[in-house]
Amino acid sequence: MPYPSQAMRTWCENVEKLRQEMFRLGKAREDGWCQCQIGEALGRFCPQDQQAQFCSGLFWSIWIDQVFYSVSRHLGQEFYEQTFRPTYRFPKLFSHPTPGHASPAFLLSEPPGMLAQDWRHQRPSRELLLKDKEEFWGEVAGWLQQVERQDILQAAETDFKDDLQRRFPEALKFLFST
């Protein structure tokens, strides 16, 4: 199978086009999404019956990118910058109230305070999240096997589980339970 798949390339291109449109409107960062802007993008550009699917895809693509960045800090940053990022152009999610990246769990939860008014999207079901895990993580894991990077595959799976324990609500622990 060629990597990335056509479906994954199309996903990344469409998300980037949406981010560029929001940036043109002054509603997104040049280098990624601010967590406070995702709700507005969903409401403005995504039909309600597609919001759960879009949100699940954003969740997995952002989380995979964050885990790879973290793992690459320990196993060689050049793999992330020269191999992973050019292959999988997954979006970035930045934190609004603090510097740095926001947890992708934000996409699956009820945001606090004023953000809630712009965050009335359909959330993905457990079944959809597990299906998209297979689509997104399954493809990336297959690619890692093809490029013979078992070390990164194993480190990423460990990092997913550790991240779940550190930054995710209890209700999402099923995402990497085994």
Q: How many CB atoms lie within 10 A of CB 36?
A: 19
The whole-number pLDDT of residue 113 equals 46
Give the largest Cα separation in the chain, rounded. Answer: 46
Q: What is the pLDDT along the chain (178 residues), one digit of tens a residue?
A: 789 999 999 999 999 999 999 889 887 888 888 887 887 787 788 888 888 899 999 999 999 999 999 998 888 788 899 999 999 999 999 887 778 888 898 888 765 444 455 556 678 999 999 999 999 999 999 999 999 999 999 999 999 999 999 988 888 999 987 5
Q: What is the Cα 134 distance to its own chain's centre?
A: 14
The whole-number pLDDT of residue 121 equals 65
Residue 101's DSSP bridge partners are: 94
Q: How many CB atoms lie within 10 A of CB 28?
A: 22
Prediction pTM value: 0.90
Domain-wise residue ranges, the chain: 6-176
